[in-house]
Structure 1
Amino acid sequence: MRNISQPRICHCQIGRLKLTLSNKYHLKLTSNNVISGLKSPLPEYDYVIVGAGSAGCVLASRLTEDPDVTVLVLEVGKPEMFFTDVPSMAPYFQRTDYSWPYYMEPQKNVCLGMINKRCYWPRGRAVGGTSVINYMIYTRGRPAEWDRIAAAGNYGWSYKDVLKYYKKSERTNLEQYDYSPHRNTTGVMNVEFIKYKTRLIDAFLEAGRILGSPTVDYNAPEKLGFGYVQTTTRVGRRLSAAKAFLHPNKRRSNLHILPMATATKVLIDPANKSAYGVQFVRNRIKYEVTAKREVILSAGPIASPQLLMLSGIGPRDQLSRHEIPLIKDLPVGRTLYDHITFPGVIFTLNTTGLSFIETKVSAINNIFAWLQFGDGEVATPGAVEGIGYIKTPVSTETEDIPDIELISIGGSMVSDGGPGASKAVRRGMKISEDVFDNAFGSIDSTDTWSAFPMLLHPKSVGWLDLKDSNPFSHPRMYGNYLTDPMDVATLVAAIRYVQALAATPPFQKYGAKIHRAHYPGCSKFVFDSDEYWECAIRTLTVTLHHQIATCRMGPQGDPRAVVDPELRVHGVNRLRVVDSSIIPRTVSVHTHAPAVMIGEKAADMIKAAWK
C-alpha cells in the first residue's frame, strides 16, 4: 500500500486546460473537509463500518447522531479533490486511482470491441465511494418493483416503505416538482436539474410526447415518461455521499474515518458465530479493531461479498478450494445482476453548435463560469440531459414496469474527440482505439445526438468467485451478459424505438441521420438488420456500473439469500451488509440513490435493535 504522506502528483486535464495538483494541496483540502486527522483508531468502537461509499457514509452519519455511540469507518480510498467536483469530468475518473480497475472475466461473444475483449467494471475507491466518480444520476425505481421485492418475503421493503427513506435524504431543487408528495425539500442530499441545456433535450422530450411518452418527473410513482435528468449536485458541483453526510458532521468526536485502510477479514468467533471486529492493513501494517455491537460491511457489490468469503462466509466448495476455514455456508456471490448498454446508436446532425463537444466545453470562459456560478456546459454530468422509461413491444411485464431506460446525451461518444481532447468516454469504457476509429472516426468531434438504451431487467444472471485467499487480489467476476436471447431482443427493440424518436419532426429539423458504423465481424450483416445490431451490441457491450445481488437479501429459507430483510447475515450474529449488493433483483435505477436509501433504512433498523 502507498503511504499517504508520500508526495504524489496528479495531472488532470479538461480538454486543453491542464492543471497539476500536488499531494500537499490534496491533503490540505481534505483536512478542512473530512474527519479529524485520525492517524490510528481506538482499539474498540460500538460499530465498525467497512466502506465509506454511498450507503456507508449515510450509516456513519445517522448512527453518530447519538453522542454515546462510537463509529469507525474504514475506507480503502482517499478523500476527494478539486477535480472530482466537476460534473463534466465524470468519465475521466473511470481510469484514475479513484476507481478500482476491475475487469469482468473474458466471455465469448460480448465486449468484442474492448481492449483485450474484456468488459471494464470500474468501482469507486474514495471516501464517498462510487458517488465520487459516477454520473450523479438520481433514480428510485418503480413502485411495482419494490412491492414485488417485499412480496417475496422481504418485509419492510415495499415502495411505501422505501419512499420514506428516499424522502428522508432528499433536498430537491426541481422547480414544479419540489412540493409533490413523493419529494422532500429538507434533507441533506441535493437533487436538482442541470441549468445548462442544449436544444437536443427539448427534441428528446417532444419526440417522446409524439410517441406517447409524456414529460414527467420520472421518479414520480404515477406513470412512465421522459424528463430532464435529475442529479445529485449542488449548484452545479458534484455532491458525493461524503459531502452530503460526512463533511457536515466532521466535528463529531464519536465519528472516526480512516482512509487508505484495507479491510482484510471480519473477525468471527467460530464457536458462537458472532462477529467481533475487523482486521485491516494500513501503510503495510496489520491492525485489528473490535466492535462492541456490530460489524457492518458497506464496501459495495464487489468488495462486500469478497470480504465475506475471505472471512469464512460463502459457498462451502469455494472456500474449501482456497483453504479458508468455513464459518457459514451461504450463497455469497452466486447471484449478480448488472445493467448494460450499447452506446453506438449515434445520429449525425446537419446543424452545428447543437451538441456538447469537449474542446468547446473546456474553453477557459466556460471553466470560469462554472467556478463562479456552478453553471454552463462544465456542470453537465458527462453530457447526460434526459431520462426516459419505456416498455418495448417484446416486454413480458404485466405491470407498469419498463424494460428499457433511455439516457439522452447532448452529443455522443464522439463528443470527447478532436485535437487536444481527452477521449475520456471511449477510454473510460476501454473501447479499442482501432475499433472506435474504424466505427466512428469519420464523425469524430462533430455535432451528434445519441440515446443509450439501458437494459433494466436482464434475464442473464452472473456470479462472482474468489481468485484466491489473498485479500489484495481482485475477485473473478462473470457478467454472463446476453446469454439469454431475450436480452438481445430487448436491446434491439430499444434501438428501433430510438430510431423512431429520431424520425420525428423535432429531430428531423436538425437532419438526424443514423451513422453507419463499421464493426469488425459485422460486415457480413446488412446494415440496420436485427442481425447487424446484435453484432454491434456484442461488440460494444458496456456496463453502467450497477452490479447488485451479490449479497442477496431474502427471508430465512430462501436458497439464494445471504442477508435477511434487516440486512443481518444469515446464521452469523452481529454482522450486517448495508450496500447495493443486498438488492435481490433488478430495479429500474442507477444504484447511488437506492444505496443511500438502504443506508438510511439500515440506520433505523440498527438503532431499533440496540435501544
Structure 2
Amino acid sequence: MDATAALLNPCPEAVSGLPAHLFLTLINALMVSKCQISSRENYPQDQSPKLNDQDEFDFIVVGSGSAGSVVANKLSENPNWKILVLEAGSFPSPTTEIPSLLFSLQGGADDWQFTAEPSDKACLGLKGGRCLWPRGKCLGGSSSINAMLYIRGNKRDYDQWADQGNEGWDYDSVLNTFKELENVQAEELKNSTLYGRDGDLPLTLYNSHEILADAIKKSARLLGYPTVVEEQASGYFEALQNIEQGTRANTGKVFLGRAKERSNLIVALNALVEKIVIDDNKSAKGVEVKIADRKKLTLKARKEVILSAGAVGSPQILMLSGIGPKHHLENVGIDVVQDLPVGENLQDHLFFVGPYVKVSNEAVALKPSPVDELYKYFMHRTGAVAQIGLTNLVGFINTRKDSIYPNIQMIHVLFEKNDQYLHSEISRVQGVTDETVSAEKEVNQQSPTLKFLPTLLNPKSRGKILLKSKDPHDKPIIYANYFEDPEDVETVLEGIKHVLKQLETAPLKKYKPEVVNQQIPGCESHQFKSDDYWRCAIRALATTVYHPAGTCKMGPKSDPGAVVDSRLRVYGIENLRVMDASIMPNIISGNTNAPCMMIGRKGAAMVIDDWAHKHHEL
C-alpha cells in the first residue's frame, strides 16, 4: 500500500455532492476563524521602515509591554504630541492569543529567554542549576505570554510605598488609577464598587467547575480562609483575567491597538534601543536604536525619553547609557554619566513546584474530547481552550496568622490522568530534570495529579542585575539571589505545611490524596516529607513566578537605594523617566501585570501634569 496516498486520501471513499460541499464549508469556516484569532489588524502598523536618522518626536517610549503600551496610549491622547514606541520584538505569534497555550510561549520568539546565574542556595534541582527567566519580547511584552491573571495587590503594599516617602502612591491614590484602566465584564461583580467599568482593559471571570476547585475552597474555609468574589487581602477566589471573547487581551492589542488610528502614535518593531543619548548638561535627548537589519539610528526626543523595558531591560539600558553603579560601569568600560544604584534591589516572587499530589479518578469530571474542545474554541471561542483551567483559582494566606495580609499566594495546576500536553510543557519551561519528570509522569499515567504551588509574596532576599559587557546585544547577568535570606525558605515551608493540612480535611480527603515522591536530585538522603526534606526540595525546585521588580527603585532623594523620584524621574538626569515594575520599592503581594499597567497610567498622568505646568510657566 502507498503510504503517501493514504495520507492524501485517508477516507476509503470520496465524499461528493452536498455532503462534500457542507464538509468543505465547515473546514473553510474553521480556517477563517483561525485567521481571525491573530489578525494584525488588531495592532498598530509597524512603521520602523519609515524611520530616518535624526527624526524627532516629543516622547520616545522604550518598550510596549504592560506599562509602555499604557503610557503611549495616554500620552497620544494629546494630538499635539508626537509619540514613538520602540519595541525590540515583533507582533505576537498566533499562539499567544490562545489562553490555554500560555506555557508553550516560553522559550520561543516571543520570549527574551533570560536565565539567572547558578547559585548554591536555589534552583539546585533544575537543569544546569539555573532558573529560566522568561520575559516578553513582542508587542504587549510579558502581557502577551503571561497567565493573564489580573491581581492588584493589597492596601498595605501601596501604603508602604507612600510611607517610604513616595507621595501619591498610597492605596487610595492608586485605586483610582486602577479603576481608570478597567472594564470589568464579570456578571458576578456587577454590583461591585471596587472595579472600574469605563476603561479599555476587558476583565472577565470564569469558574472552571472543576470538582477539585470546590474541594480546595471548602478545605481552605475549614482552615480559616474564606471564599470571596472580589480580590481581598485574605481568601480564595477565581481571579479576573485579561481575556476577551476567548482570546488574550494583551496590552499591545488593547492600549496600542485601540489607539492605532491616531496619526501622532508611531510604533516601530524589531527596534533594539542600545543607549540613551545624554548631552553635556545631563539631559536625555533621544536614543540610539538598531532596527532589524538596518544601520543604527539616532532618534531625538524633544521632551522626554520614557523607559518601560521592564525590570531587566530598563536597568540594562540605563547602565549601557552610563547611568548606574560607578564601579561596575568602569569595570565594563562604560563612561559614567550618573552614579546610581541601578540594577540593585531586585525582587521576585518564586514558587515551590509542588507538593505533587495523586488523587482518585473521581476528583476529575469527564471532559469532552480534545477535538470537540478545539471545535468549540475555533468556532465559538469557548470551552477549555479559552481558559487556563484550575490555575485561575488563587488563595492568599498568612501562614503565621500575625496579620490580615498574606505572606503566601497559593496557585494550583491540575493534570488529567495520562496528560499529554500540560505536564510536559510546564516541566520544560521550569527546567525540571528528566529524573523528576519521569517520576511525576509515571504516577500521572495511572491517576489525575495536582500541584499546589506555594508562592513567596514578600521575599527578604535581594538580587541584582549587571551588564555582561558594554555590548547592548549581550544579555545581562541576573543574580536572583533566591533564599539568600534563610527566612524565605521557612516561609515557603510554612506554605507547604498549609497544603498538607488541607489534604487532611474532609473535602479533599474524600479524593484519596497522596503526596508523591518527586525523586528530587540531591534530596534522597532526607526522610520523605520531613521538614529537612522539604527544605531541600524548596532549594531544588522553587523557581520564578515571572515577577521581577525593584531594579530602578522609587524613593526620596535621601534614600541611598533610590534611582527615580516619586514622579518617576531619574535622579540627576533631566527629561528621563522609568515606568515599569523596576520602580517598585517593594514587590507587591500578587501578580505584577496589573500594577505595571497602573504604574504606566499614573506615570503618564504625571508627565501630562508636569508639562502642562511648564507650559503655564512659559
- Fold-level match, TM-score > 0.5? yes
Question: How big is the shift at 1:189?
Answer: 0.8
Task: Give SS of 1:423's match.
Answer: helix
Report the equivalent of 1:241: 251
Report the equivalent of 1:277: 286
- Alignment counterpart, residue 61 of structure 1, candidates 45, 70, 73: 73
Report the equivalent of 1:41: 51
Q: Is the 8 A contact 1:361 1:377 kept in 2?
A: no
Counterpart Cα distance in 2 of 1:247 and 1:481: 37
Report the equivalent of 2:330: 320
Larger Rg: 2
Q: Is the 8 A contact 1:265 1:278 kept in 2?
A: yes
Task: Give SS of 1:113's match.
Answer: coil
Shift of the 124–154 alpha-carbon distance from structure 1 to 2, 3 Å rule, reads: same
Report the equivalent of 1:145: 157
AA aligned to 1:96 is G
Q: Is the 8 A contact 2:285 2:302 kept in 1?
A: yes
AA aligned to 1:232 is N
Question: How big is the shift at 1:444?
Answer: 4.5
Counterpart Cα distance in 2 of 1:370 and 1:509: 33
Task: Give SS of 2:180's match.
Answer: helix
Question: How big is the shift at 1:586?
Answer: 2.2
Alignment of 1:390-401 (within 5 A): 390-393=397-400, 399-401=403-405
AA aligned to 1:435 is T
Counterpart Cα distance in 2 of 1:29 and 1:596: 23
Report the equivalent of 1:12: none
Task: Give SS of 1:407's match.
Answer: strand
Report the equivalent of 1:94: 106
AA aligned to 1:235 is Q
Task: Give SS of 2:184's match.
Answer: strand
AA aligned to 2:411 is I
Report the equivalent of 1:257: 267
Report the equivalent of 1:387: 394
Report the equivalent of 1:567: 568
AA aligned to 1:59 is V
Report the equivalent of 2:180: 168
Counterpart Cα distance in 2 of 1:584 and 1:80: 30
Counterpart Cα distance in 1 of 2:225 and 2:431: 34
Q: Is the 8 A contact 2:277 2:284 kept in 1?
A: yes
Shift of the 523–422 alpha-carbon distance from structure 1 to 2, 3 Å rule, reads: closer
Question: How big is the shift at 1:505?
Answer: 1.5
Report the equivalent of 2:278: 268
Report the equivalent of 2:15: none
Q: Is the 8 A contact 1:416 1:424 kept in 2?
A: no
AA aligned to 2:88 is V
Task: Give SS of 2:599's match.
Answer: helix
Q: Is the 8 A contact 2:64 2:140 kept in 1?
A: yes
Alignment of 1:16-415 (within 5 A): 31-38=40-47, 39-41=49-51, 43-220=55-232, 223-269=233-279, 271-284=280-293, 285-352=295-362, 354=364, 363-381=370-388, 383-393=390-400, 399-409=403-413, 411-412=414-415
Q: Is the 8 A contact 1:104 1:479 kept in 2?
A: yes
Counterpart Cα distance in 2 of 1:361 and 1:582: 45
Counterpart Cα distance in 1 of 2:421 and 2:328: 48
After superposition, give the CA deviation of every residue in 1:221-255 in whole Å (9 maximum; x if it has no partner): xx511111221111222110112111111111000
AA aligned to 1:406 is M
Shift of the 143–52 alpha-carbon distance from structure 1 to 2, 3 Å rule, reads: same
Shift of the 417–553 alpha-carbon distance from structure 1 to 2, 3 Å rule, reads: farther
Counterpart Cα distance in 2 of 1:595 and 1:74: 18
Report the equivalent of 1:6: none
Task: Give SS of 1:49's match.
Answer: strand
Which shifted more, 52-61 or 104-113?
Answer: 104-113
Which shifted more, 81-90 or 299-308?
Answer: 81-90
Unaligned runs of 5+ in 2: 1-33, 613-618
Report the equivalent of 1:592: 593
Which shifted more, 89-98 or 202-211?
Answer: 202-211
Counterpart Cα distance in 1 of 2:37 and 2:143: 22
Counterpart Cα distance in 1 of 2:421 and 2:429: 17
Question: How big is the shift at 1:374?
Answer: 2.4
Report the equivalent of 2:469: 468
Runs of 4+ in 1 over 4 A off after TM superposition: 25-31, 415-422
After superposition, give the CA deviation of every residue in 1:410-457 in whole Å (9 maximum; x if it has no partner): x15xx5965577811110111122332145533357412222111001
Shift of the 485–90 alpha-carbon distance from structure 1 to 2, 3 Å rule, reads: same
Shift of the 79–546 alpha-carbon distance from structure 1 to 2, 3 Å rule, reads: same
Question: How big is the shift at 1:174?
Answer: 2.8
Report the equivalent of 1:514: 515
Report the equivalent of 1:19: none
Task: Give SS of 2:492's match.
Answer: helix
Counterpart Cα distance in 2 of 1:569 and 1:161: 22
Q: Is the 8 A contact 1:30 1:80 kept in 2?
A: no
After superposition, give the CA deviation of every residue in 1:1-60 in whole Å (9 maximum; x if it has no partner): xxxxxxxxxxxxxxxxxxxxxxxx999965422223422226000000000000000011
Task: Give SS of 1:244's match.
Answer: helix
Q: Is the 8 A contact 1:26 1:81 kept in 2?
A: no
Task: Give SS of 2:491's match.
Answer: helix
Question: How big is the shift at 1:66?
Answer: 1.0
Shift of the 540–422 alpha-carbon distance from structure 1 to 2, 3 Å rule, reads: closer
Task: Give SS of 2:204's match.
Answer: strand
Report the equivalent of 2:26: none
AA aligned to 1:391 is N
Shift of the 211–204 alpha-carbon distance from structure 1 to 2, 3 Å rule, reads: same
Instruction: With the length of structure 2 as denominator, give the TM-score of the two structures.
Output: 0.89
Identity rate of aligned residues, in percent?
Answer: 36
Task: Give SS of 1:492's match.
Answer: helix
Q: Is the 8 A contact 2:133 2:546 kept in 1?
A: yes
Question: How big is the shift at 1:151?
Answer: 0.7
Task: Give SS of 2:228's match.
Answer: coil
AA aligned to 1:236 is G
After superposition, give the CA deviation of every residue in 1:477-525 in whole Å (9 maximum; x if it has no partner): 1111112121111111100101111221211222222222222221211
Report the equivalent of 2:24: none
AA aligned to 1:371 is F
Counterpart Cα distance in 2 of 1:478 and 1:304: 16
After superposition, give the CA deviation of every residue in 1:366-419 in whole Å (9 maximum; x if it has no partner): 0121223322111222641311111112x7xx643210000133x15xx59655
Task: Give SS of 1:126's match.
Answer: coil
Question: How big is the shift at 1:179?
Answer: 3.1
Instruction: With the length of structure 1 as denominator, give the TM-score of the two structures.
Output: 0.90
Task: Give SS of 2:475's match.
Answer: coil
Q: Counting helix residues as a fraction of each chain, which structure ranks higher? A: 2
